[in-house]
Amino acid sequence: MSLPLRDMARSGLLLTAFAVAGALLVGLIWQATAERIAENARQAVLRQIDELVPPDARDNDPYHDMVEIADWRLDPRGPTPVYRAFLDGEPVAALYAATAPNGYGGPIRLLVAVCPNGVLIGVRVVSHRETPGLGDYIDRARSDWIDQFDGRSLDAPPEYFWRPRREGGAFDHATGATITARAVVDAVHHVLDYHRARGSRLLFPDGPRMGQP
Amino acid sequence: MTQPSYSTITRDGLWYNNPATVQLLGLCPLLAVTGTAVNGLGLGLATLLVLVLSNVTVSLIRDWVRPEIRIPIFIVVIASFVTAVELIMDAWFHDLHKILGIFIPLIVTNCAILARAESFASRNSVPRAFADGLAMGLGFAAVLVLLGAFRELLGHGTLFQQADLMFGPAFADLQLTLFERQGMLAAILPPGAFIGLGLLIAAMNVINQRRERRRRAEAAVQPAEQAGA
């Protein structure tokens, strides 16, 4: 019995050695790339903040004026970063980095810019895994679909119409890709809902309230 | 066991034993990401890199890996390289990485890579394993690009759109637009991938048959040569 036992030990050692070597390689590469990857993600968010609230419409750095909010309406999986933009001390916008959990290809990460009074400035898709060529029309690089949110609010259109046109709602969508549109529309609606219920007061305790634009 | 010549390795990888069209391996990423030529090229190059690295490594360690644990070891080797390539792509080709998404980590499950490790690299010298990885990887990448170009052409009416994701902003103008209107939706959707791959394989078979017929015809004219072959 001693021979097979020794064989087993040698096989085990060999496997361990390769696992350690593999982990070491991945660890080293991770260390070399982690900073760049985080920077890439940061740049992507910064670019979209600039698109939604241009630098001349604010005088603070929203990226660093960030509050984390945990609410299932914004992201069922964890806290949502919310960036705040101010001009001359007056609140300009809250940018919710909300997530639509029910996209066709998985969660769709959004950046939803809302005025303190609850009017939408605009929405951008930060990352998604929708079907290329079919569900990726939500990406502004692909189509201007996402622009139809500009200027909307909880009352425009009324609650019932916050759904894709196919279901009787007010929002266009690409044929055959309703799930994608529904996920984004729902997520944006959730943000507005949260913003009216709590967000506006929480983020801008000194700013204008809902209903007093 | 005699080692195959480099020209055989090259011809096998690119044509006669092409991993995608002859061995029909790694079809999941092949069919899923070939919506455009640039996406195909991105995944093709990532696969090529992993294939070369894993082939060389497996060939290097072929003398001390015990046969009963060779498969787990190959998988550890392949998975490590894939993760490394994914991190590198995320760092330097961020936008392309975003598009290819889940299919980069899925290179681990591309049977073409494990198949080459098992059936070639673990039995051949390092330079030959390197050549095999290169030839097979190029063959796979070529099919990805061809299929991507075919589907992009029919579906979007363009060629090499978003080339800037891969080569930098200077290449954003590489896009060729053939027609502006909405193309064939079916070409972009998964069925388009199956049909495109089928047509590609059919074309290869036709070419092979033509060649075979010509060779036979020549052999019939010169029976002496036939005896030699």
For chain B, say whether A19 makes contact (Cβ under 8 Å).
yes
Residue among B80, B90, B108 with most chain A CBs within 10 A, to mutate: B80
Per-residue pLDDT at A210: 46
- Which pairs with CB-CB distance under 8 Å and at least 24 residues apart come from B182-188? B183/B153, B183/B154, B183/B155, B183/B156, B183/B157, B184/B154, B184/B155, B185/A133, B185/A134, B185/A176, B185/B155, B186/B155, B187/B150, B187/B151, B187/B153, B187/B154, B187/B155, B188/A132, B188/A133, B188/A134, B188/B35, B188/B151, B188/B155, B188/B156
A3, A7, A16, A29: best to mutate for the B interface, most B CBs within 10 A? A29
- Most A CBs within 10 A among B64, B74, B83, B85, hence the mutation to make, goes to B83
CB pairs under 8 A between A and B: 70
pLDDT single digits (tens) B22-52: 888 878 778 877 878 888 888 898 999 999 9
Question: Chain A contact for B67, CB < 8 A?
Answer: no
Which residue of A lies nearest to B66 if distances are taken between CA atoms? A11
- Identify the pLDDT of residue B152: 86
What residue of A is the nearest CA neighbor of B74? A18
Instruction: Nearest by CB to B80, from A25, A37, A131: name it.
Output: A25
Distance from the A46 Cα atom to the nearest Cα atom in chain B, whole angstroms = 15
ipTM: 0.75
Look at B88 and A23 and tell me if their CB atoms are within 8 Å: no
**pTM for the predicted model, two decimal places:** 0.73
pLDDT at res. A3: 64
Of A125, A122, A97, the closest CA to residue A184 belongs to: A125
Give the one of A14, A25, A36 whose C-beta lies nearest to B91's C-beta.
A36
As a whole number of angstroms, the distance between CA A36 and CA A113 comes to 27
Q: Do B91 and A14 touch (CB under 8 A)?
A: no
Lowest mean pLDDT among A67-71, A185-189, B113-117, B171-175: B171-175
Q: Grade residue B182 by pLDDT with cuts at 50, 70 and 90.
A: low
User: Alpha helix (H) ranges present in chain A?
Assistant: 2-52, 178-194, 200-203
Q: Looking at the predicted structure, is the pLDDT value of residue B191 above 60?
A: yes
Q: Which residue type sits at A41? A: A
Separation CA A130–CA A122 (nearest Å): 20
> Each residue's pLDDT tens digit in chain A (213 positions)?
456 888 888 888 989 999 999 999 999 999 999 999 888 888 888 888 998 999 888 888 888 888 888 888 888 888 888 999 888 888 888 999 999 999 988 899 999 999 988 899 999 998 887 876 678 888 887 788 999 999 999 888 888 888 888 888 888 888 778 899 999 999 999 999 998 888 777 777 776 544 444
From B173, B184, B118, select the one nearest B151 (Cα to Cα): B184
